[in-house]
Structure 1
Amino acid sequence: MPLPRKKENKGLPARWRFKHGAYYYQVPIGLEAQWDGKQLFRLGKSLPESYRTWADRLSTLDDAKNIAELLDRYALQVVPTKSITTQAQNSVAIKRLRAVLGAVPLQSLKPRHVYQYIDKRQAKVAARREVEVLSHAYTKAVEWGYLDRHPFKGEVRLDGEKPRTRYVEDWEIIECLSIESRRKAGSVLAIQAYIRVKLLTGMRRGDLLRLTMSDLKDDGIHVTPGKTENSTGKRLIIEWSDELREAVSIAKSARPVQIAPWLFCTLRGECYFDEETGRAGGWDSMWRNFMSKVLETTKLKEKFTEHDLRAKCASDAETLEHARALLAHADGKITERVYRRKPERVKPLR
């Protein structure tokens, strides 16, 4: 007997159920043998984990009649190739798209429907992110032979978000590093060490928090950016400089557990970054507390984000190409548009 639909299940793939803190798949009658003989198969606690389990069990969809079925295949084949954080974001976007547009026939979507979708949402930024996922899904639909052309690519013009312009001045960094810590390790000292390493390498938060002692080799810091790990597999070797060696040395001494494998670790010697969810809740809380203390005890009047430090690294690089390489961007356009925040200096005519 089918389980009754619950409000919280709205937007999930067909026959999915959420109960007792986990996602389950209600197996169609007669197919129990393919699902370990179960009528209700447990997929996982999180959406990314559940989609991976489902992908392992289901055969590839040969046809898609509506947007829900297209998104199902997209979730199975495309989402797992992205970074952990992007997977989680895409899963949420897919759930919302399915709830509103899932029953729409694949070839019936028009540009006006996309505008209406965004117009009716209060969270405009989230809505634009969801439309980006839908657009990519339709790009894959053309690749998979479902459609001959993308129904709204190039025909929908959305007001994009303006890139953040906050540039962190050198004196602001000095103020942050001047705060004294009550503890001999962790907390304030860990954040200050993180700032030092971040400014020299421009590494993403997830990559920096997942950095291990074994990544620190004789020729430099070896990094495989999580954002490209499942796509291009691009690897970086950030060569040592005297400043970088000193920054890493400070980070090592700031660790609360000296035998931990991570350069930045919790009081238990564990990694701050959760590979399953793509989040670093403990670290984010520590960062917020640090910035509150900075505003209370220093000359700073405006806080900056952890991501602003990555932009400062790119802005302070002598050339755009150097900044692009540090940030591991495939194209310098995103580096220039979003991360190079210093005013451009030009000389007057003679």
Structure 2
Amino acid sequence: MEARPRKDGLVTYRYHPVGGKPINLGTDRLKAIQRVLDILGQGDGVGTIERLWNQYQDTPDWKRLAEGTRADYKTCSKPLLATFGDVRASDIRASDIARYLRIERQAAPVRANREAALLSNLINLAIERGEAETNPCRQVRRNPEQPRTHAVAVETITTFVQWLMGQTPQRQIIALTAEYAALAGSRKAEFLDIVRPQVDRTAGVIRTKRAKQRGTKRGEVIEEVAITPRLADLLDRIDAIHARQERECLYLFPNRFGNHYTSAGFKAMWSKLMTQALEEKVIEERFTFHDLRAFYATTHKAERGTLPDLHANPAITARVYDRNKVVKRKAL
């Protein structure tokens, strides 16, 4: 390990592997030493799930994950580390994972599946580093998951949106995002950061990048949402709100600082408004923002006879988003 003094008084450290390029270790001497020991397989806690979690966040695999997936994994890491944090990957058995899924996380079976997926990635890293031989996660069946089947009534959505439209301009923006999701069927990740150049009134389309694309396809699939009369009216009302606030904003759905909402920030705001609406008896049932995407797919099929192109796999659109209770067909 090499120490390199800097002009600002700090010292940077880097490790020289035999026959390889130097690895930057930062300016913290103790952390640099610990990292070198980890590389050599001589540090305390080598092969433990907590150490693997810290190492995983420095890998190319982590950098390839979408921002939303990273945030979700960070949430999953908390209960996972509470159980397996100081356990070595090589000591984990399939029975331990099964107990975690069925007993310890019985109250949250779906979240337990996500946590098991993260654990599997960490054990794969341990295998690559020579700290484990097999991945027991592959031997355990995940908890069964059922997609939501409840279809939100149009009256419920309308009432909630109208309630928000009678409040502050910022809450009106939230109402308009709900309308957009119900009319266009887009995910939050596809339109929360939408900017005005993506709205082509001349061509009559809104262009967004399809989310959840993997590998080389990420960012390459462009969705063109046709601007219908109802969607055009929504865009006009967005412009009107921005004009009343006397500000020119690049984003269609800005937060109070003029930036786009983050996924976490929007989720917190939506939950707060939904809870308040229920307490004030504005609506009688809670619904998620993702239910609006299902509302779009269900309404699209009812009005046009076919499901929209929402997913790379049409079977997933039919299984997750189609919530029609009545199936119509013609006799011969």
TM surpasses 0.5: yes
Q: Return the index of the structure with the highest Cα Rg.
A: 2
Say whether the 8 Å CA contact 2:251–2:258 is kept in structure 1: yes
Deviation digits for residues 141-185 of structure 1 (CA, Å, limit 9, x no counterpart): 7789988865342x42233233222211222233334447455x6
Shift of 1:128: 2.5
TM-aligned CA distance change 1:90 to 1:243, over 3 Å: same
Match of 2:324 in 1: 342
Give 1:98 shift.
4.6
Pairing 1:237–2:237 present: no
* Deviation per residue, 1:73-112 (Å, 9 max, x gap): 5432222222212102213434544554355554554321
Quote the residue 1:205 is aligned against: 188
Q: Tell whether 2:108 aligns with 1:124.
A: yes
Correspondence 1:115 to 2:98? yes
Conserved? CA contact 2:62–2:70, under 8 Å: yes
Quote the residue 2:206 is aligned against. 221
Unaligned runs of 5+ in 2: 1-12, 18-22
State how far apart, in whole Å, the 2-side matches of 1:114 and 1:151 are: 8
What's 1:101 paired with? 84
Q: Point out where structure 1 has 5 or more consecutive residues left out of the alignment.
A: 1-26, 43-56
**In structure 2, the residue corresponding to 1:315 is in which secondary structure?**
helix
Amino acid at match of 2:192: L
Residue aligned with 1:330, SS: coil
| 1:35 correspondence with 2:25 | yes
Task: Identify which of structures 1 and 2 has the higher relative contact order when contacts are C-alpha pairs closer than 8 Å and 6+ apart.
Answer: 1
Aligned partners of 1:62 and 1:109: how far apart in 2? 22
2:3 maps to none
Task: Note if contact 2:254-2:261 (Cα within 8 Å) is conserved in structure 1.
Answer: yes
Change (3 A) 1:240 1:95: same
Are the counterparts in 2 of residues 179 and 294 from structure 1 also a CA contact under 8 Å? no
The aligned counterpart of 2:141 is 157
Residue 35 of structure 1 aligns to a residue whose secondary structure is: strand
Of 47, 69, 77, which aligns to 1:66? Answer: 47
Residue 246 of structure 1 pairs with residue 236 of structure 2 = no
Contact 1:176-1:294 at 8 Å conserved across structures: no
Aligned pair partner of 1:83 in 58, 66, 78: 66
CA–CA distance in 2 between the matches of 1:140 and 1:30? 22
The Cα of 1:293 is off from its aligned counterpart by: 3.7
User: TM-score normalised to the size of structure 1?
Assistant: 0.67
Is the contact made by 2:278 and 2:284 (CA closer than 8 Å) also made in structure 1?
no
User: Deviations for 1:277-304, whole angstroms, at most 9, x for unmatched residues?
Assistant: x4115x6336633663477365x42232
- Number of aligned positions between the proteins: 299
- CA deviation after TM superposition for structure 1 residue 201, in Å: 1.4
1:320, 1:332 within 8 Å by CA — same for their partners in 2?
no
* Structure 2 CA distance for partners of 1:231 and 1:107, relative to 1, 3 Å: farther
Matched, 1:171 2:171: no
Please give the alpha-carbon distance, in whole angstroms, between the structure 2 residues aligned to 1:78 and 1:225.
Answer: 21
Partner of 2:285: 302
TM-aligned CA deviation for residue 71 of structure 1: 4.5
Aligned Cα root-mean-square deviation (Å): 4.3
User: Do the aligned residues in 2 keep the contact of 1:83 with 1:229 (CA within 8 Å)?
Assistant: no
Task: Pick the aligned partner of 2:255 from 257, 261, 266.
Answer: 266
- Partners of 1:294 and 1:124 in 2: CA distance: 24
CA displacement at 1:250 relative to structure 2:
1.6
Q: Shift in Å at residue 264 of structure 1? A: 1.0
Equivalent residue letter for 2:284? K
Q: Distance in 1 between matches of 2:160 and 2:149?
A: 20
- Partner deviation per Cα, 1:215-257 (whole Å, 9 max, x = no partner): 2124321212454387632332222222222222222323345
Aligned with 2:160: secondary structure?
helix
Distance, in Å, in 2 between the alignment partners of 1:304 and 1:285 is: 14
Identity level (%): 21
